[in-house]
Amino acid sequence: MKPDTVTVALTGASGLPYGLRLIDCLLAAGVRVWVLYSQAAQVVAQQEMHLTLPSRPAELQQWLAARYQPADGQLRVFGREEWFAPPASGSNPADAMVICPCSMGTLAAVAQGMSDNLIERAADVTIKEGRKLVLVPRETPLSAIHLENMLKLARLGVCILPPSPGFYTHPQSVDDMVDFVVARILDQLRVPQQLLPRWGEERA
């Protein structure tokens, strides 16, 4: 069943195009989206996409709304210290959460149950409430510390989904490679998508 609400967290790992494209696709599918973001994500946005993301949540919400044209009430953005935000409590969790991209620091904090900011707290809530949590970690090579943290989370039912685009679809652009990864995330969330053909199917 398609989720009604998905929390999307943007952190300081490389791969912000994946996160923004995911927000775009979720909104287009009619899903309500709660966006969380770190200061490091703003730095990455400038470095990778030449985008200046506003520092204030209300301004970022306006920026995203102008970019993706969501329905009224479909998109909300919360600050990293906004402890009264819905995703901070198990009494009002989203149906699922995706941290995309997910830095190794954020992954480690989630693995240790840290809740020093809203992203970490929302992930902790998602795990304890038995909701779907997808982490999109972007790092290479991976150390034993990284792998141990991922294994610990995987054993708790967390989906570890590295952004590793396949080439069997014959991508023609960077956007095609981004869509490959976003399609895999949407599949995990059970959100219908037509970003690329299924294995054994022809592209329309």
One-character DSSP codes across 91-137 = TS--SEEEEEEE-HHHHHHHHTT--SSHHHHHHHHHHHTT-EEEEEE
Q: Could you tell me which of 111, 191, 203 has the C-alpha nearest to residue 148? A: 111
Is 105 assigned a ligand-binding role in the annotation? yes
Q: Is 53 helix (H, G, I), strand (E, B) or coil?
A: coil
Q: How far apart are CA 184 and CA 87, in angstroms?
A: 23
How many C-beta atoms lie closer than 10 Å to residue 195's C-beta?
A: 18
Q: What is the pLDDT of residue 1?
A: 86
Query: How high is the pLDDT of residue 96?
Result: 98
90 Ramachandran zone, left/alpha/beta (phi>0; psi -120 to 50):
alpha
Q: Taking 70 as the threshold, does the pLDDT of residue 203 lie above it?
A: no
Task: Identify whether 165 is preceded by a cis peptide bond (ω within 30 of 0).
Answer: no
Q: What is the pLDDT of residue 204?
A: 53
d(CA 118, CA 94): 13
Is 38 annotated among the ligand-binding residues?
A: yes
Element (H, E) at 4: none
**Cβ atoms of 196 and 203 closer than 8 Å:** yes
CA distance 18 to 102: 11
Whether 201 has a pLDDT exceeding 80, the answer reads no
pLDDT of 45 > 80? The answer is yes
29 has binding-site annotation: no
The reply, when asked if residue 89 is annotated as ligand binding, is: no
Positive/negative CA dihedral, 172, 49, 70, 80: positive
pLDDT in tens, 115-124: 999 999 999 9
Is 168 annotated in some ligand binding site? yes
**pLDDT in the model for residue 139:** 96
Residue 67 is assigned to a ligand binding site: no
Query: Is the pLDDT at 99 greater than 90, yes or no?
Result: yes
Confidence of residue 84 (pLDDT cuts 50, 70, 90): very high
Asked whether residue 55 is marked as a ligand-binding residue, the answer is: no
Average pLDDT estimate for 52-77: 97
Binding site annotation covers 164?
A: no
Strand partners, 10: 37
The CATH label, of 3.30.420.130, 3.40.50.1950, 3.40.50.720, 1.10.3720.10, for the domain at 5-189 is 3.40.50.1950
Distance of alpha carbon 40 from its chain centroid, rounded?
Answer: 15
**Residue 56 annotated as binding site:** no
pLDDT in tens, 20-34: 999 999 999 999 999
Q: What are the structural domain ranges in the chain? A: 5-189
| Position 74 confidence tier, pLDDT thresholds 50, 70, 90 | very high
Please indicate if the annotation marks 14 as binding a ligand: yes
Mean local confidence (pLDDT), 151-158: 98
Q: Is 13 annotated as a binding residue?
A: yes
Closest listed residue to residue 118, CA positions, set 155, 93, 145, 153:
93
What's the rounded Cα separation, in Å, for the pair 37 and 77?
Answer: 8
- Residue 187 makes CB contacts below 8 A (sequence gap 6+) with 193
